[in-house]
Amino acid sequence: MGLPPVSLRSTKKRRAREILARLWQLYPDATCSLDYQTPVQLLVATILSAQCTDERVNRVTPALFARFPDAAALAAADISELEFLIRSTGFYHNKAKNIQGACQRLVVHHGGQVPQTMAELLGLPGVARKTANVVLAHAFGIHAGVTVDTHVKRLSNRLGLVKSEDPVQIERVLMGLLPQPEWENWSIRLIYHGRAVCGARKPNCGVCALADLCPAAVSV
């Protein structure tokens, strides 16, 4: 006898995996929306994406990477020029300081290359788990955790899979619900869904393919 259909009464793990399967169908080609050519460039772009849209970052990085294409160039950059190039991403003083500090550490301790472990990435200025997860997954195919941005936090709560505003706690719960090879696929596709359907102010539950699995949709 087979399992009953997945519904709101199903376990969180069954619902999470059914949601992931539907997200795969909805967004089969979803990938990181930041433009980059090297792991260093992905690291820098991800730092820039904090409290800034990926679209804005992608408008800034062509000129930035043309001028400073690698860790050595960024480590030696004039900080005022670096700030000027990234100004429109917001918080540019701190971002420029972190980018340069991270690249200086890459040059001194890692031969100018991005390390491939969570611990080493977290030792870089401006890098927390969100940035480290993005870089490991998309630059190296390493699934060390679940990337938790504002979309993932919002939708994971709305879907009733977590009940927390703490990204670290949310990540820990999601890691227990999803197969490790799918950790970044969950994040990327949930981000796409958050942009396309489940907005922060006005979720479009009437057209949402996840509505029958979402306790928030029932109450709308």
Instruction: Let me know: does 3 contact 208? Beta carbons within 8 Å.
Output: no
DSSP lists the bridge partners of residue 203 as: 198
**Residue 44: in which H helix or E strand, if any?**
helix 39-48
Instruction: Let me know: does 74 contact 103? Beta carbons within 8 Å.
Output: yes
Measured torsion, CA atoms of residues 157, 195, 200, 134, in degrees rounded to the nearest 10: 50
- 205 conformational bin, left if phi > 0, alpha if psi -120 to 50, beta if neither: alpha
Backbone angles phi, psi at 203, to 5 degrees: -65, 135
Residue 154's alpha-carbon distances to 47, 149, 166, 190, 200, in angstroms, are 21, 9, 11, 10, 7
Tokens of 211: 């509505």
Residues catalogued as catalytic: 130, 149
The rounded distance, in Å, linking the Cα atoms of 145 and 70 is: 26
DSSP 219: T
